[in-house]
Each structure stands twice: as structure tokens, then as C-alpha cells.
Amino acid sequence: MKNNILGFILLALLTLPTYAQQSMLPISDAEQVKHVINELFDGYREGDSLRVKNTFTNNAMLQSAYYDTSGLSQLSIPEPITKFTAYIGGGLEKEHDERIWDLDIKINNNLASVWCNYAFYLANKFSHCGAENFLLLKKEGEWKIFHLVDTRQQIDCNIPDRIKNH
């Protein structure tokens, strides 16, 4: 009996370094970038402007690509991230829930690009959908968004069932 207990303790001690090494492995750049994008939308959903702000560089810009009423392709004037975070910080009366899928992450050195689809729900009601493109820079070991451009539409939204409200 004493040998069984001693054997169990020895086995536990031998597996501990393996577990510790696996849990301390560095997170890949792609996982870090994905975390930044998820952090942005988690903060937005919670109405936490500081959490959202921390995912962006100080001089980040937001834009939208769209078609005007004449059917001409347009790009909105760049808006500073401070305008977006001030909107969130002003207190959101309804939950803003932007749900993303099909993330395509590309990384080269300290530059990353993320393309994804999204569906936006306001107070749990569908508002619009589109695609988003994020540009991120890795500076001092951290990935931050420096540019975000999106499209917006209310029709022809191929939203997966797992994203839609049930």
C-alpha cells in the first residue's frame, strides 16, 4: 500500500513539469491578434469604453465603405477612435452586440490584417451586417488596432445559424 502511494506521488511529480511547460508556452501572434479583436467586441457589448480604447492605438481611425444613393462607391471620412470611445463612454441605452465569424488573419513581422464577417444586433434585434477589415501593429510586444474599415448592409446577409438570435 505504501509503495502504491509513493508511486502515485512520484508519477504526479514527473508529469507536473510537462504540464507547467505546456501552460507557459507563448501564445502565437495569431492568437494574440484574435484576442485583441474579441476584447474589442466584448468591451463594446459591455459598454466599457476603456476596454475598447485599450485595443486601439491612440491615433487609430475608423471608416466605412459604402454605396451612395446614386450607386457610387464611397469611403467615409476617417474618424478618430476617440469619437467611438466617447460614444460608448456616454452610456449605451441598449446593448450593442457585434458578432463576428470567419476571421482570416494574416501576419508579417509587426503588421497584421484581419478580415471577418459580422452581424450587428441592437438590443438583441438584428440591425445590419457586413465585413470588417482591421489593421494592427505590434509595438512593444502588444498588438493594437490602428485602422478599421467596415461595410454595412441590411439585405443579403448570409449569417450562420450559430450567430443569429434563436
Q: What is the mean pLDDT of each run of 10 residues along the chain (166 residues)?
A: 51 46 74 97 96 97 96 97 94 92 97 98 95 97 98 93 81
Tell me the fold of 27-151. Nuclear Transport Factor 2; Chain: A, (3.10.450)
Residue 107 in grid coordinates: 501576419
Strand segments, DSSP code E, in the chain are 56-67, 73-75, 79-80, 96-108, 111-122, 125-139, 142-151
Distances 112 to 29, 37, 137, 161 between C-alpha atoms, Å:
9, 12, 6, 29
pTM for the full predicted model: 0.82
Among residues 101, 103, 108, 104, the alpha carbon closest in space to that of 29 is found at: 108
The contacts of residue 9 (CB under 8 Å, 6+ apart) are none
Residue 55: CB atoms within 10 A of its CB come to: 25
Quote the pLDDT of residue 27: 86
CA–CA separation, 160 and 110 (whole Å): 32
Quote the pLDDT of residue 9: 46
- According to DSSP, residue 164 is labeled S
Quote the pLDDT of residue 26: 75
Q: How much is the mean pLDDT over the chain?
A: 88
